[in-house]
């Protein structure tokens, strides 16, 4: 069900679960990312998304693998994506990823998507969210700290972070009602989720 995200400047975005029909809009959003944003998102240079990657990123079950898109209602373009995935074995821990198109960064979209994603993880029985980010990506480190993530390791230019979902959602009221409803509407795991890193 779509929900509405209202930014500090009054701009409203629609947030909804991703669907297979979002393959082309997602590819377009990727092309609107700068090289720096792509590097921060994938922890390595990334020139394009393959057809197989687009299938994986858009055809999700919304339980063990969830993905939410923020959409500019005036253009219909995807401006932000948040996702978590448990990997092929399932379980109660999942890796989380966020990315926002450059022209829309620093407006609270990443924070709003992260909050909503934690809510979805909680509803789907996920008890721990993890992520990896470049150590010098101070903006995403600040965002994760505000959400409640803690750094579990630092090395080789990256940080590993972790969130206790149950503790976060029970002790922080911001995980409830973060987006108003629209009136219209482990190593193996990390290896399998190379395209779902925190940005």
pLDDT at 194 over 50: no
User: With 70 as the cut, is the pLDDT of residue 173 above it?
Assistant: no
Q: What is the pTM of this model?
A: 0.84
pLDDT at 172: 58
How confident is the model over 82-133, as pLDDT tens digits?
A: 999 997 777 899 999 999 999 999 999 999 999 999 999 999 999 999 999 9
- Distance, in Å, from the CA atom of 13 to the CA atom of 79, rounded to the nearest integer, reads 9
Element (H, E) at 112: helix 109-123
CA–CA distance, 190 with 161 (Å, rounded to integer): 13
Are 46 and 39 in contact by the 8 Å Cβ rule? The answer is: yes
Structure confidence at residue 78 as a pLDDT band (50, 70, 90):
very high
Domain ranges across the chain? 3-192
What's the confidence (pLDDT) of residue 191? 33
- Per the CB < 8 A criterion, the answer to whether 102 and 40 are in contact is no
pLDDT at 13: 97
| Helix H or strand E segment including 58 | helix 51-58
Q: If one looks up domain 3-192 in CATH, what number appears?
A: 3.40.630.30
CA dist 106 → 63, 97, 99, 148, 161 (Å): 29, 17, 12, 19, 21
* Backbone phi, psi, residue 184, to 5°: -85, 20
For residue 10, what are its two tokens?
């009054």
pLDDT per residue as tens digits for the range 7-56: 988 999 999 999 999 999 999 999 999 999 998 888 788 889 999 999 99
């Amino acid at each position: 069900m779509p929900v509405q995200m209202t930014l500090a400047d009054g701009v409203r975005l629609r947030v909804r679960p991703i669907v297979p029909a979002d393959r082309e809009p997602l590819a377009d959003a990727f092309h609107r990312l700068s090289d720096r944003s792509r590097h921060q998102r994938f922890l390595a240079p990334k020139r394009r998304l393959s057809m197989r990657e687009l299938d994986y990123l858009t055809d999700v079950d919304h339980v063990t693998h969830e993905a939410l898109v923020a959409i500019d209602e005036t253009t219909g373009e995807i401006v932000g994506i948040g996702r978590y995935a448990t990997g092929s074995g399932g379980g109660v821990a999942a890796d989380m990823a966020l990315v926002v198109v450059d022209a829309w960064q620093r407006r609270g979209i990443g924070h709003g998507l992260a909050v909503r994603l934690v809510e979805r993880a909680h509803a789907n029985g996920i008890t721990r969210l993890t992520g990896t980010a470049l150590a010098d990506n101070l903006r995403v480190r600040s965002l994760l700290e505000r959400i409640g993530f803690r750094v579990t390791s630092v090395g080789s230019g990256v940080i590993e972070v972790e969130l206790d979902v149950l503790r976060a959602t029970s002790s922080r009221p911001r995980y409830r009602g973060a987006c108003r409803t629209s009136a219209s509407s482990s190593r193996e795991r990390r290896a399998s989720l190379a395209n779902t890193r925190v940005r």
